[in-house]
């Protein structure tokens, strides 16, 4: 009788350990930023439709060599508008310097946005940005 009870306790402990291991194996890691969802998250570059970080945001987690066909997602003024040549301000929430260009494929004028930089686009870049990279592309 005592051996039966010990075996049941041992079997229950093994089953619980297996369930716990399975739960840990299927648990996801902390969520990473999701680019182009219209919400600027840590680890992303945000390009805003309006000055002073207002309106819809085109949020990039990885480089985009050509904004043609991309639109400002999410809420705010400019939502649904083309992201190509439509940026008035930005916020770099990434841990990398981002490089923006006035033409696709890193063409045209080149500008850098340091880590943590928040600001309005200069005359050279306002409504002229067409590609962005988290590294110097040329």
pLDDT per position as a tens digit, 59-116: 999 999 999 999 999 899 999 999 999 999 999 999 999 999 999 999 999 999 999 9
Are 82 and 67 within 8 A, CB to CB? yes
pLDDT band at 27 (very low <50, low <70, confident <90, very high): very low
d(CA 89, CA 107): 20
CATH class of 45-133: mainly beta
pLDDT at 13 over 60: no
Q: Give Cβ neighbours of residue 48 (< 8 Å, ≥ 6 apart).
A: 54, 55, 56, 57, 58, 87, 88, 89, 90, 91
């Amino acid at each position: 009788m005592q051996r039966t009870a010990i075996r049941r306790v041992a079997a229950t402990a093994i089953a619980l350990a297996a369930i716990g291991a399975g739960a840990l194996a299927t648990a996801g890691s902390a969520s990473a930023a999701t680019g182009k969802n219209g919400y600027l998250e840590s680890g992303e570059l945000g390009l805003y439709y309006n000055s002073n970080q207002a309106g819809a945001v085109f949020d990039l987690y990885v480089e985009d060599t050509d904004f043609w066909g991309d639109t400002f997602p999410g809420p705010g003024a400019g939502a649904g508008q083309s992201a190509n040549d439509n940026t008035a301000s930005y916020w770099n929430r990434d841990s990398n310097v981002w490089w923006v260009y006035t033409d696709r494929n890193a063409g045209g004028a080149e500008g850098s946005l340091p880590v943590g930089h928040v600001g309005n686009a200069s005359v050279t870049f306002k409504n002229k940005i067409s590609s962005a990279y988290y590294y110097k592309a040329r």
